[in-house]
């Protein structure tokens, strides 16, 4: 039996025990083991399908923008409605003001209607006769003032009349509470309610201030001259 020779091993020490090629070099007739060939450990990954996620995101953004713009214009179209409502309010206010004015004028008409007819004087010259009497008292012409009195005012027998001008002056100035009259102003002429009598009102300026004074003008007989038949301080 033949013995194996130690000088010829069955497998070289430098050759790997697996695989078809040896060493670190490229295989015969082929590219290097780390190139771009198929199956290479460091090569580029095979091309795959494109990821649709970026396109979806872009589409959603576009939709949001379009929706926002549409909403803006929709809201902008609604703005004229409150403006129109506000502009109509001044017209309503004007109508209310006109109504108030008409209501205010109504009492004025009622007041004119309620005015008593007795305010109108009975005689057209009552103011002239009364003013002449007062002027005589201011000027110190007491006898002329006495002559302007009615018959009862010139008859002292019943205690109401005066015998002379001085007694008339004494009573007159006692009535007004003053001794001197510097001026007088006619205020009004009205009817006393009697068909034969008017009331003429004066403001007399005296040393004690302004004194209200009224004179009664009487027509003793129809067609007769008007006379003074009474006076009082106010």
Is-contact 205 183, C-beta < 8 A? yes
Query: What's the pLDDT band for 222 if we cut at 50, 70, 90?
Result: confident
Task: Return the CA Rg of the chain.
Answer: 65
Tokens 């040393």 correspond to: 207
| CA 201/CA 204 separation, integer angstroms | 10
Phi then psi for 155, rounded to 5 degrees?
Answer: -115, 105
Expressed in angstroms, the distance from the first to the final Cα of the chain is 180
Tens-place pLDDT, residues 1-34: 444 443 444 444 344 444 444 444 445 554 544 4
Domain coordinates in residue numbering, the chain: 56-95, 126-233
CATH class of the domain comprising 126-233: alpha beta
Query: Does this model's pTM top 0.75?
Result: no
The tens digit of pLDDT for each residue in 99-147 reads: 444 444 444 434 333 333 457 899 999 999 999 999 999 999 999 999 9
Kindly report each contact of residues 8-14 with a partner whose C-beta sits within 8 Å and lies 24 or more positions away, as own/partner: none
**Per-residue pLDDT at 63:** 83
Most confident of 55-59, 130-134, 194-198: 130-134
Strand order, beta sheet including 197-206: 181-191, 197-206, 209-219, 226-233
Alpha-carbon gap, residue 184 to 102, rounded angstroms: 41
């Amino acid at each position: 039996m033949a013995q194996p020779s130690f000088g010829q091993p069955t497998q070289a020490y430098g050759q790997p025990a697996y695989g078809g090629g040896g060493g670190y070099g490229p295989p015969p007739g082929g590219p290097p083991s780390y190139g771009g060939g198929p199956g290479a450990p460091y090569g580029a990954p095979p091309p795959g399908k494109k990821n649709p996620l970026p396109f979806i995101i872009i589409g959603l953004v576009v939709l949001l923008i379009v929706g926002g713009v549409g909403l803006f214009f929709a809201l902008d179209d609604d703005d004229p409605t409150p403006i129109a409502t506000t502009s109509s309010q001044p017209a309503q206010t004007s109508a209310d003001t006109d109504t108030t004015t008409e209501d205010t004028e109504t009492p004025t008409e009622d007041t004119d209607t309620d005015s008593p007819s007795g305010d109108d004087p009975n005689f057209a010259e009552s103011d002239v006769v009364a003013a002449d009497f007062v002027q005589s008292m201011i000027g110190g012409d007491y006898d002329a003032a006495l002559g302007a009195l009615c018959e009862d005012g010139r008859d002292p027998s019943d205690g109401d009349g005066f015998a002379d001008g001085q007694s008339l002056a004494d009573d007159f100035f006692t009535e007004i509470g003053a001794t001197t009259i510097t001026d007088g102003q006619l205020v009004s002429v009205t009817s006393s309610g009697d068909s034969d009598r008017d009331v003429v009102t004066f403001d007399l300026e005296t040393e004690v201030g302004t004194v209200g004074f009224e004179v009664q003008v009487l027509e003793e007989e129809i067609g007769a001259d008007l006379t003074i038949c009474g006076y009082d301080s106010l």
